[in-house]
Structure 1
Amino acid sequence: MSFPVDVVVMAAGKGTRMKSQRPKVLHRLGGRALAQHVIDCAARLSARRVVVITGHGAEQVEAGLAAPAATALSFVRQEPQLGTGHAVQQAVPVLQDDGVTLVLSGDVPLTQAATLQALLDVCAGQHLALLTLDMPDPTGYGRIVRGDGGEVCAIVEHKDASEAQRAIREIYSGIMAVPTRLLRAWLARLDNRNAQGEYYLTDVVKFAVADGLAVHAHRITDAVQVAGVNSPAQLAELERAYQRRRADELLVQGVRLADPARFDVRGELVCGQDVEIDVNCVFEGSVQLGDGVRVGAHCVIANAVIEAGAVIHPFTHIEGEKAGVKVGAGALIGPFARLRPGADLGPEVHIGNFVEVKNSTLAAGAKANHLAYLGDAIVGERVNYGAGSITANYDGANKHRTVIEADVHVGSNCVLVAPVTIGAGGTVGAGSTITKDTAPGALSVARGKQVSIANWQRPVKQKKA
């Protein structure tokens, strides 16, 4: 492609049918805002700049979108909103005449970069090129009107179309590529003499025809790529289509999904060979699954690296956030476990049911199998951490570190009050509250003396007179 591409994203609409205070283009699909999908796709085209036209909820929209690496992102505002042509007019001052303007919609999130590249190839830096689609029911869409020779003559909006024109099934997707120097001149000729009283961007087609310039169409058959979101029902439908496509990509790679229809990726999921994923799992942020990893049903995994051979049993919740979570090779996690940011588990670590780990490192072979909490801890190799035990890491103002050295055995229902170090090979007796460092190899017991009163009688409830 020998010409620069500037992308204009229309994102000014209110989205009344969403029944939401959130601007429509910020509603999320696959974990990202609708308009963010569009911006990210533009970045894959190596666009020179991306200009987002905002209007309703402009401050929210502008704060909620981000520029991918090496992409220049800017915003212009359309106030008031007087139609699609009026919207693009707001972007004209920041566009350069040496390039092609690619017009996209912020509520059409699943157009593929390859499709847009094909449209740009049709444009070739010289022609007005439209992305079109044949639809069984084209109600509500602008119709592509062609001449006797099959050439595109006009786009007629549904509300302005005659009965004969409404019978046309080829529709305009809302996506066009046009040399900017031509677009600038055509936008200056727009008027609002139509049923809506708006300035239609689609009128540039009749201007091109009037100027004797051919209008080209790139027709596709994949309706999902040009499907817009106008209601919660449409958003939910498009979410399932998106997730099914992600599932199909993984299946082609060899990932075993128990049911591709019950699977959600809301970010980036990278899988090695022989990965197995059971039903109703959700992956958020950046997740990497190594060779042979098995993920049980109903797990939520966010921002984590899970190494080869690890097993994540059902109902496990891994939430890495910015610090991330690492699960070592061959580790066994869950069921009903929770790994929080900063959990770094070595090879063959076992984290069992109702165990929570946060900002802690567990070395190879360490085990916490039941009903326990490890926070701000360094745990050595082969440690056995008993059921009901906790690290008391927070004094009400600051967090403190607990160090449990290699081969320590911590009995059930213990409290390790940080900062504290349990020496290598030591044992902490069940029910102990440890507040001081313990020596290597020592047995440490800190609990009240047991007292038994023989033949003790429980109080008896007095009967009312």
Structure 2
Amino acid sequence: MSFPVDVVVMAAGKGTRMKSSKPKVLHRLGGRALAQHVIDTAARVSARSVVVITGHGAEQVEAGLVAAEGMALQFVRQEPQLGTGHAVQQAVPVLADDGVTLVLSGDVPLMRPETLQALLDLCGGQHLALLTLSMADPTGYGRIVRSADGSVQAIVEQKDASPEQRTIQEIYSGIMAVPTRLLRQWLARLDNQNAQGEYYLTDVVKFAVGDGQKVQAHRITDAVQVAGVNSPVQLAELERAYQRRQAEALMEQGVRLADPARFDVRGELVCGLDVEIDVNAIFSGRVVLGNGVRIGAHCVIANAEIAAGVVIHPFTHIDGEKLGVRVGAGSLIGPFARLRPGADLGAEVHIGNFVEVKNASLAAGAKANHLAYLGDATVGERVNFGAGSITANYDGANKHRTVIEADVHVGSNCVLVAPVSLGAGGTVGAGSVINKNTPPGSLAVARGKQVTLANWQRPAKKKP
């Protein structure tokens, strides 16, 4: 492509049918704002810049969107909103005449980059090119009016169309590519003499035809690509379409999904060979699954790197947030386990049911199989951490660290009061509260002496 591309994203509308205080283009699909999907797609056609036109909730929209790497992002405001043509008029002052303007909609998130590239190729830096779609029921959309030789003559909006024109099934998608120098001229000629009293961007077609410019149309059949979001129902429909697209891409790579209809990626999921994922697993942030990883049903995993051969049993919750979570090769996690930010597990580690790990490292072969909490801890190789035991890491003001050296056995229902260190090979008796360091190879027991009273009678309820 020998011409630069500048993308204009229409994102000024209120979205009344969403029945939400949030601007429509910030509602999320696949974990990202609708308009963010559009911006990210623009980056994949090597756009030089993206100009987002804001209006309703402008400050929220501008704060909620970010530029893709290597691409300039700027905002212009449309106040008041007087139609699509008026919206693009606000962007014209920041567009350079040496490029092509690609107009996209901020509420149309599933456009494929290859479709946009085909449209840009058709434009060629010389012609107005429209993206169109044939629909069985085109109600509400602008119709494509063609001449006898098939060339595009006009786009007629629904409210301005004649009964004959309303029978046309080819519709305008709202997406166009046009040389910026020509767009600037045509926008200056817009008027609002129509049923809506608005300035229509689609009127540039009649100006192009009147100027003897060729108007091209790239027609597609995949309606999902040009489907917009105007209501929670439509948002949910596109969410499932997006997730199906993600699922199919993963299955083509060899990932085995128990049911692609019950699968959600709300970020980036990278999978090795022979990965198996059961139903209702949710992935967000960036998740990397190594070869042979098995994910059980109903797991929620975010910002984690899971090495080869790991089994994540059902109902496990892993969320690395900013610090991330790492699970070493061959480890077994869950069911009903929770790994929080900073959990760093070595190879062959076992984290069982109702065990929580936060900001703690567990070396190879360490095990905490039942009902335990390991927070702000450094755990050595082959440590066995008993059921019901915890590291008491918080003194009410500050967090402190617990160090458990290799081959330590911590009995059930123990409390390790940090800061404390347990020497290698030591044992802590069940029910102990440990607040002093223990030497290697020692047995530490800290509990009250058992008292047994023979023939003791429980108190009885008094009769009324």
> Which category of TM-score, normalised to the shorter sequence, fits these structures?
over 0.9
SS in 2 for 1:163: coil
Q: Corresponding residue for 1:165?
A: 165
Give the TM-score normalised by structure 2: 0.99
Q: Corresponding residue for 1:189?
A: 189
Q: Does 1:324 align with 2:324?
A: yes
CA–CA distance in structure 2, aligned partners of residues 335 and 254 of structure 1 = 25
Q: Does 1:83 align with 2:83?
A: yes
CA deviation vs aligned residue, 1:379-428 (integer Å, no higher than 9, x gap): 00000000000000011111110000000000000000000001100000
Q: Corresponding residue for 1:200?
A: 200
CA deviation vs aligned residue, 1:265-297 (integer Å, no higher than 9, x gap): 000001000000000000001000000000000
- Letter of the 1:236 counterpart: A
How much has 1:136 moved relative to structure 2? 1.0
CA deviation vs aligned residue, 1:214-238 (integer Å, no higher than 9, x gap): 1000111111110100000000000
CA–CA distance in structure 1, aligned partners of residues 200 and 20 of structure 2 = 26
Q: Which moved more, 1:41-50 or 1:100-109?
A: 41-50
CA–CA distance in structure 2, aligned partners of residues 156 and 396 of structure 1 = 68
CA–CA distance in structure 1, aligned partners of residues 426 and 162 of structure 2 = 87
CA–CA distance in structure 2, aligned partners of residues 198 and 59 of structure 1 = 24
- Letter of the 2:8 counterpart: V
SS in 1 for 2:184: helix
- Letter of the 2:328 counterpart: G
Q: Corresponding residue for 2:222?
A: 222
How much has 1:92 moved relative to structure 2? 0.5
Q: Which moved more, 1:445-454 or 1:29-38?
A: 445-454
Q: Which moved more, 1:377-386 or 1:40-49?
A: 40-49
Alignment of 1:277-288 (within 5 A): 277-288=277-288
CA–CA distance in structure 2, aligned partners of residues 397 and 161 of structure 1 = 70
SS in 2 for 1:225: helix
Q: Does 1:231 align with 2:231?
A: yes
How much has 1:156 moved relative to structure 2? 0.6
How much has 1:461 moved relative to structure 2? 1.4
How much has 1:458 moved relative to structure 2? 1.1
Alignment of 1:361-376 (within 5 A): 361-376=361-376
Matched residue count: 464
Give the TM-score normalised by structure 1: 0.99
CA–CA distance in structure 2, aligned partners of residues 58 and 428 of structure 1 = 60
Q: Corresponding residue for 1:71?
A: 71
Alignment of 1:170-319 (within 5 A): 170-319=170-319
SS in 2 for 1:352: strand
How much has 1:239 moved relative to structure 2? 0.5
How much has 1:46 moved relative to structure 2? 1.4
CA–CA distance in structure 2, aligned partners of residues 45 and 79 of structure 1 = 30
How much has 1:254 moved relative to structure 2? 0.6
How much has 1:123 moved relative to structure 2? 0.4
Q: Corresponding residue for 1:153?
A: 153
CA–CA distance in structure 2, aligned partners of residues 161 and 149 of structure 1 = 21
SS in 1 for 2:164: helix
CA–CA distance in structure 1, aligned partners of residues 301 and 89 of structure 2 = 44
Unaligned runs of 5+ in 1: none
CA deviation vs aligned residue, 1:164-208 (integer Å, no higher than 9, x gap): 111111110000000001000100111111111111000000000
How much has 1:328 moved relative to structure 2? 0.5
Alignment of 1:425-444 (within 5 A): 425-444=425-444
- Letter of the 2:346 counterpart: G
SS in 1 for 2:398: coil
Percent sequence identity is 84
Q: Corresponding residue for 1:447?
A: 447
Q: Corresponding residue for 2:115?
A: 115
SS in 2 for 1:90: helix
CA–CA distance in structure 2, aligned partners of residues 432 and 159 of structure 1 = 79
How much has 1:44 moved relative to structure 2? 1.1
Unaligned runs of 5+ in 2: none
SS in 1 for 2:456: coil
Q: Does 1:343 align with 2:343?
A: yes
Q: Corresponding residue for 1:396?
A: 396
- Letter of the 1:172 counterpart: Y
CA–CA distance in structure 1, aligned partners of residues 189 and 69 of structure 2 = 37
- Letter of the 2:129 counterpart: A
CA–CA distance in structure 2, aligned partners of residues 18 and 33 of structure 1 = 14
Q: Corresponding residue for 2:21?
A: 21
- Letter of the 2:215 counterpart: V
CA deviation vs aligned residue, 1:282-337 (integer Å, no higher than 9, x gap): 00010000000000000000000000000000000000111000010000000000
How much has 1:159 moved relative to structure 2? 1.3
Q: Corresponding residue for 1:385?
A: 385
SS in 2 for 1:279: coil
Q: Corresponding residue for 2:46?
A: 46
- Letter of the 1:108 counterpart: V
How much has 1:459 moved relative to structure 2? 1.1
How much has 1:453 moved relative to structure 2? 1.3
SS in 1 for 2:165: helix
CA–CA distance in structure 2, aligned partners of residues 406 and 45 of structure 1 = 53
CA–CA distance in structure 1, aligned partners of residues 295 and 141 of structure 2 = 43
SS in 1 for 2:41: helix
CA deviation vs aligned residue, 1:128-177 (integer Å, no higher than 9, x gap): 00000101111111110001110100001111111111111111000000
- Letter of the 1:394 counterpart: Y
Q: Does 1:131 align with 2:117?
A: no
SS in 1 for 2:121: helix
CA–CA distance in structure 1, aligned partners of residues 93 and 209 of structure 2 = 25
CA–CA distance in structure 1, aligned partners of residues 333 and 272 of structure 2 = 19
Deviating above 3 A after TM superposition, structure 1's stretches of 4 or more consecutive aligned residues are: none
How much has 1:259 moved relative to structure 2? 0.4
- Letter of the 2:48 counterpart: R
SS in 2 for 1:233: helix
CA–CA distance in structure 1, aligned partners of residues 218 and 397 of structure 2 = 63
SS in 2 for 1:269: strand
